[in-house]
Chains A and B, each alone.
Chain A
Amino acid sequence: MYGYPITPSSEVMHFWAKEACSEQGKKDNLVFLQAEDEISAGFMLLGGILAGTRSFTATAGPGHVLMQDGFSMAEAMRLPIVGYIMMRGGPSTSTVIYSQSETNLTCFGGNGNGYRVVYSVATIQELYDYGIKVFNTAWRYRFPTFLLGDGYLGKTMGEVDIYSPEERGIKMVPTEAYLLEKIRTVPLSDVVPSPNLDSRVVDGVSYDCLRNCLNMEEEALAVNAETKEAWDLAAPNLVEHETAGDPKAPLLVVAHGSVAASAKAALEVLAGRKIKARLFRPITLRPFPEEALRQAAQGAERIFVVESAVNQLSRFVKESLYGRCSAPIVDHFRPSIGIVPNEIAGLVEKNAK
């Protein structure tokens, strides 16, 4: 891991640092370095990936902004970095507490049409479960992959089932180096967009030259086209969502991350008040579960989008439902502030008709 301290993600780094310098950590060849800033951390992370190791970082807020330099290079060259993002207040330094306002940044923070996988987790158990999954998604499909959490999730002390992948029958996807790989089973040309790669074989040894700077418009177009092709193949295997509540309920709440956990609890509150509501929770924000949302929207009389941000989740929702759904959308935007179940229940109740 390469990282830089920033609340509320630093604990990930503290834990890893302790593991890496322990007896067992040294035996396991765990690598850790705290970089001089997030920009360097992001590029050290790329170096770790180029060397064929499962490399990751954890960041938030202004640090997350700085990391986009490295993340966008990963997008161009199909480097499977893993990032744990613990959203905090914004813009600028703001609070260290919580928000869902880095959704846009996590999904689209690079310059120019890159592709990244983003998992938005709702519970601390999912921090663990998806904390493993992100590495397998990244190395199988070779896209930058993010676990999107928030400061509440990052700082909450609670119960978690800890297990090893083997215990649950999870096979870790093997890694391969981009530079100096001795045994290559996945050709680089299958992964790196062709304008960014020039390999030559001399005496049976392949020398691979990787770049991200291009000369012609057509090359830039080709990078996007090739990446998109790989993305379109991968997306159906990646997309995840969750629903809760009576499928026939006319009131649909859409929320992601820990707000979805709050919304789930709100359904119980509403049931107690005899109001029928259900929840659609996208788990992958990229690829966004458009089809599943369109299905869920059928029969909805009103759709409530609840987020601790302004129009970040809602934009995805509107994009998915455009032209497919006539139910009015009620936005509930609470940037940088937690949304308790009673608040969501009150919102739905007030707008039930």
Chain B
Amino acid sequence: MSEPFKIIICGEGGQGALSVAEILAFAAWLQGKHATATPHFSTEKRGGVSMAYVQISDEPIPFFKFDKADLWVVLSQRSIDRIFSYLQDGTKIIVNSFLVKDVSAIAKWQPHQIDATELAKVELKKPRTFNTIILGAMAALVPGLDRKVFSKALDKHFGTKYAKDAALKALNEKAFDLGYDLMK
């Protein structure tokens, strides 16, 4: 049985780590893969640590949690300590360098440092789309994922928001592409 591709993402409550995880899992499923996304958080909606486990595989996922990740993503400084133990040789890393300034602890993994918040502000005029940029970058690093399914996956997640603000859809997809293309 082949191992699933394992992704862990960690941020502060409210940063959208769980949304990113869900969209990623859903996109993989749209493509016909097996996927799970399992969140971990302290208090429900705001004010604590927020992280998620995502697994993507061509075979059914045996168990939601894992101990070592293939792709490791942090959105806030203290997330580094929080999920440090999930690193192994060869883990790929993405950090949102807007908040994560000190990467000395993870230097040997040569993290991709993306200032997603700054990019979102400057290129898209909407800082809130920073996590879609991160999502795009992550998607590029998951083997076997087709970028084309993400439009539909983003639609499912943000459908109600798009209905209120039509411009958001194009903006979001631009954010995704921005992140994705940074990795190529």
Contacts and interface: CB of A to CB of B under 8 A. Distances in A.
A and B from one assembly? yes
Interface in A239-279: 258, 261-262, 264-265, 268
Interface in A324-352: 338, 340-343
B100 interface: no
Given A159-B34, A268-B1, A258 B64 contact: yes
Interface in A71-98: 95-97
Given A97-B40, A152-B38, A159-B34, A261 B62 contact: yes
B42 A341 contact: no
Interface stretch (B21-29, B108-116, B122-130): B21-29
A49 B122 CA distance: 59
Contact of B63 (A7, A159, A261): A261
A318 to B, nearest CB: 26
A58 B15 CA distance: 28
A265 B26 CA distance: 23
Question: B37, B63, B67 — which one has the most chain A CB atoms within 10 A of its CB?
Answer: B63
A159 B36 CA distance: 8
B65 A157 contact: no
A265 B1 CA distance: 10
A158 B63 CA distance: 11
Given A96-B42, A157-B25, 16 more contacts: A96-B41, A152-B64, A155-B38, A157-B36, A157-B38, A158-B35, A158-B36, A158-B61, A258-B63, A261-B63, A262-B63, A268-B1, A338-B64, A340-B63, A340-B66, A343-B67
Interface in A138-156: 152, 155-156
Measured as residues with beta carbon below 8 angstroms from the partner, the interface class of chain B is: 20 to 34
B29 to A, nearest CB: 7
Contacts of A342: 66-67
A338 B44 contact: no
A9 to B, nearest CB: 11
B43 interface: yes
Contacts of A268: 1, 62
Nearest to A268: B1
A58 to B, nearest CB: 15
B57 to A, nearest CB: 11
A288 B130 CA distance: 51
Nearest to B62: A265
Contact of B67 (A156, A265, A340): A340
Measured as residues with beta carbon below 8 angstroms from the partner, the interface class of chain A is: 20 to 34
Nearest to A122: B63
Contacts of A7: 44
B145 to A, nearest CB: 17
A64 to B, nearest CB: 17
Contact of B65 (A95, A96, A264, A340): A340
4 A-B pairs closest in CB distance: A265-B62, A158-B36, A338-B65, A156-B38
Contacts of B37: 156-158
Nearest to B68: A342
Nearest to B43: A96
A152 B65 contact: yes
Nearest to B54: A157
Contacts of B38: 152, 155-157
Contacts of A158: 25, 35-37, 61, 64
Interface in B99-137: none
Interface in A85-141: 95-97
Contacts of A258: 63-64
Contacts of B65: 152, 262, 338, 340
Given A95-B42, A96-B44, A261-B62, A157 B67 contact: no
A264 B36 contact: no
A114 to B, nearest CB: 32
Contacts of B41: 96-97
Contacts of B61: 158
A340 B41 CA distance: 18
Contacts of B29: 159
